């Protein structure tokens, strides 16, 4: 698993998006513009949880290394040291792939 020098805070997570398929299911080679961005990735880092009104922290449901599915418009894409990552709220994650 790649290591990142980004540390999320609160209920945020850092996700590295999976790479897009180069060939369609029918065997057609796809140009870069025609590729759909995958809605799947690997969690690289998690924050320490959402602060609740009583001052306690809510435990995170995902952990570093989890493969996850997220919504199309989830998070913010950032580029650090030439690598692309997504910073998103834990609530933007729809499921963990087991």
CATH of domain 12-97: 2.30.33.40
Q: What are 27's two structure tokens?
A: 């065997």
Least confident of 12-21, 38-47, 73-82: 12-21
pLDDT grade for 20, boundaries at 50, 70 and 90: low
Tokens representing 62? 């995902």
> Please, which residues bridge with residue 14 across strands?
45, 87
Give the dihedral sign, CA 59/62/65/70: negative
Each residue's pLDDT tens digit, 47-90: 999 999 999 999 999 999 999 999 888 889 999 988 899 999 99
């Amino acid at each position: 698993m790649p290591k990142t020098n980004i540390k999320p805070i609160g209920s945020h997570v850092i996700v590295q998006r999976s790479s897009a398929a180069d060939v369609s299911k029918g065997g057609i080679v796809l140009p870069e513009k025609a590729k759909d961005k995958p809605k799947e990735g690997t969690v690289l880092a998690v924050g320490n949880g959402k602060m609740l009104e009583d001052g306690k922290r809510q435990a995170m449901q995902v952990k570093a290394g989890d493969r996850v599915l997220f919504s199309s418009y989830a998070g913010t894409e950032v580029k650090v040291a030439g690598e692309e990552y997504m910073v998103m709220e834990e609530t933007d994650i729809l499921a963990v792939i087991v």
